[in-house]
A and B are shown apart, each in its own frame.
Chain A
Amino acid sequence: MAKIIGLPKLSPTMEEGTLAAWVKKEGDAVDIDDLLAEVETDKATMEFRSFDRGVLLKILVPAGETLAPDTPVAIIGKAGEDISALLAEVASQGSQASTQAAPAPAPAPASAPVPVNTPPAPMPAHASSAVHEMTQRAVRREGERVLSSPLVRRMAREHDIELRAVIGTGPKGRIIKRDVESFLASGAASAQAVSQSASRGARRGPEIVKASQMRKTIARRLTESKQTVPHFYLTIDVDAGPLWDARKKMNEALKKQERKVSLNDLIIKACAVALRRVPAVNASWAGDAIHYHQVVDISVAVSVPDGLMTPVVRDADVLGVLEINEKVRDLAKRAREKKLALDEMQNGTFSISNLGMYGIEEFAAVINPPEGALIAIGTVREEPVVKDGQVVPGRRMKMTLSCDHRVVDGAIGAQYLAALKKLIEAPLNMLL
């Protein structure tokens, strides 16, 4: 009996997914756990595997579409089975599903939402071209295809114009000659305005870039956090000298192995140990309960080309600093390559965000729900400090704890920072 296959929810937070590429094509035999397609979710490009055995009778949605979970995407059944009833069922849901699946996209002129019941793109008959198909899609996946006339493409080459920035006024948003001409006119005019530093220059509209899945996730989650989580912030200034020295000594010891740890690795360790000392901060609000976590899993904010990811260092309180270093390096590298597995990005209990390398003195970060707190690390400042009545050179560092007030009260947060300060100013205490 043939059945309709819906787009699976590939992560708990997935509200929509983009069918990046079909791996199977119509007519292919499918076994349980066979890779059907690749789906770009809010987190990563995930594998969409089959729960069924049979033949892929029909692909209902071509690659490139963004859909809500459970939207019908394929029909699997026995070879030669009559699927007309199922197709009719899909068609009857079609208009409804498409409104759910493709929430009005940003008003980019080129992006008319395509209904989900569009006939699938014809699949090449020979197997080897499936790979070719995928690479082709991959090129386009970055953004929508820019429609432009051949003349416009030549003009773009000659004037070195990024066509993505040009608004097309032709059919389907095709960029035509007059669009490039007005773009050039406005560009030249504004350049001129700059050189003359005139107060008024030619103005032009914003460049419209379609938000990636990751961007949408960041937007959604952080808005949700800032709107629903009652944040408050505590800042503490600590003596970073001892930690600095500890790192130096460790790296001297590691020199023979040609390995190194970073200050950040030590901070992760210190924060994790401090969470054991003040476990009330290692907690989440759950509506009618508070979850006090029994593990210390630290989410580390990693900047990636078009956004930010928070891979998790599990059991950071018990890991050695070198282990933390290896873990973070591996996670960060794979985060940039978008190769993190879902469970490597989920279920942290506390977050660390470090902008010290940019010279940021202090900042207040947005909590990463459902975590109850996050610490923002500033840069290590070399400055004169007063020690025993004497002014001496010192190293200071500011840390700002963002707390979810539903879970962490001011005093608890302050206790945590005090505990952390102790560890940083006397790293040996971490061994206690």
Chain B
Amino acid sequence: MRSIRYREAVREALLEEMDRDEAVFLMGEEVGHYQGAYKVSEGLLAQFGEKRVIDTPIAEAGFAGIGIGAAMTGLRPVIEFMTWNFSFVAFDQIISNAAKIYQMSGGKITVPIVFRGPNGAAKQVGAQHSHAVSPFYVSIPGIWVAIPSTPRDAKGLLKTAIRDDNPVVFLEGETLYNVKGDVPETDDDELIPFGKARIAREGDGCTIVAWGSPYYTALEAAEELAKDGIECEVVDPRTLRPLDIETIVESVKKTNRCVIVHEHWPYGGPGAEIADQVQRRAFDYLDAPIERVASLDLPMPYATNLETLVLPTVPRVVEAVRKATYAR
């Protein structure tokens, strides 16, 4: 298997799917001539032309709506938000149209659309541009939410997203685009199914559920804890809706402890949802309260030292696992 970057994996998925199906097209700010703000769509304009790689004005509500309309007519649009922070102006299109039309049309009209773009805090991009948006979108029935952590997942999940007949919110990690990882050869056409978690590391000491950028924080913490003899099992749900709660619960039944690490705020969201489901499904297996490591409950500070304090860190994950395993 070759090792490629996350951004290249996303690009490959787009390229392969556009190549496979003429109905697939990419639309968004700077996706064409500029080759993508994060160079994800590099070379696509040259290969597929302006009809299928469409630069838009700065008008998210407009092009999100156009995409939904296109999907309703049978195309398979991929709408890129330059970052997910900008999706908020298009929120009404997503929640009121993309998520509702299938049900409100009595199942006559599907909306096979993918909204994608970078999610979460980067380095010093300010409070308004540092959102981890999963809690907003994951709470909406009628939309899938995928959040790949690795290049392989990014590619396999995006291909699945494009082929799915439902609207998909596809959250790429803004800080993950440069991450390298093994990805199968192009002609393998690997599709990674939604609702299937991946066990990234096996262990029987404590289950850590993590996705997106904090997934790597969790892995690093697990390495550190292993030195003290605490073997963590790191589970990456890969999609937050549908959520593979069974794999998480099975892991917790084995380890008897659960720590959930996520970048979104602590109030509600998938972190709280997983904690809730685990405590009900694995109640008799829990040896300690479920711990959560989240971003702190405040708007992101601009100062880099403060930003570091807000985001989940390795020491915070280590501490949470130690607490859950009563290792002091």
Contact = CB atoms under 8 A, between A and B. Distances in A.
Interface in A155-175: 169-171
The interface residues of chain B, by DSSP majority, are classed as: loop
Interface of A: 149-154, 169-171, 176-178
Contact of A170 (B256, B283, B285, B288): B288
25 contacts: A149-B256, A149-B286, A149-B287, A149-B288, A150-B283, A150-B284, A150-B285, A150-B286, A150-B287, A151-B256, A151-B284, A151-B285, A151-B286, A152-B287, A153-B284, A154-B284, A154-B285, A170-B288, A170-B326, A171-B326, A176-B287, A176-B288, A176-B326, A177-B287, A178-B326
Given A151-B284, A170-B326, A176-B326, 20 more contacts: A149-B256, A149-B286, A149-B287, A149-B288, A150-B283, A150-B284, A150-B286, A150-B287, A151-B256, A151-B285, A151-B286, A151-B287, A152-B287, A154-B284, A169-B326, A170-B288, A171-B326, A176-B288, A177-B287, A178-B326
Contacts of B284: 150-151, 153-154
A349 B256 CA distance: 62
A178 B230 CA distance: 14
Contacts of B326: 169-171, 176, 178
Contacts of A169: 326
Interface in B270-308: 283-288
Interface of B: 256, 283-288, 326
A149 B256 CA distance: 10
A182 to B, nearest CB: 13
A282 to B, nearest CB: 62
* A-B CB proximity, top 5 nearest: A154-B284, A177-B287, A151-B287, A149-B287, A150-B286
A170 B326 CA distance: 7
Contacts of A151: 256, 284-287
Contacts of B286: 149-151
A152 B285 CA distance: 8
A424 B256 CA distance: 70
A378 B119 CA distance: 87
Nearest to B283: A150
A171 B328 CA distance: 11
A408 to B, nearest CB: 60
A178 B288 CA distance: 12
Contacts of B288: 149, 170, 176
A176 B326 CA distance: 9
Contacts of A170: 288, 326
Contacts of B285: 150-151, 154
A331 B53 CA distance: 97
A176 B285 CA distance: 11
Nearest to B284: A154
A154 B286 CA distance: 10
A317 B288 CA distance: 65
Contacts of A149: 256, 286-288
Nearest to B286: A150
Nearest to A180: B287
A179 B283 CA distance: 18
A169 B325 CA distance: 12
Contacts of A171: 326
A174 to B, nearest CB: 9
A184 to B, nearest CB: 15
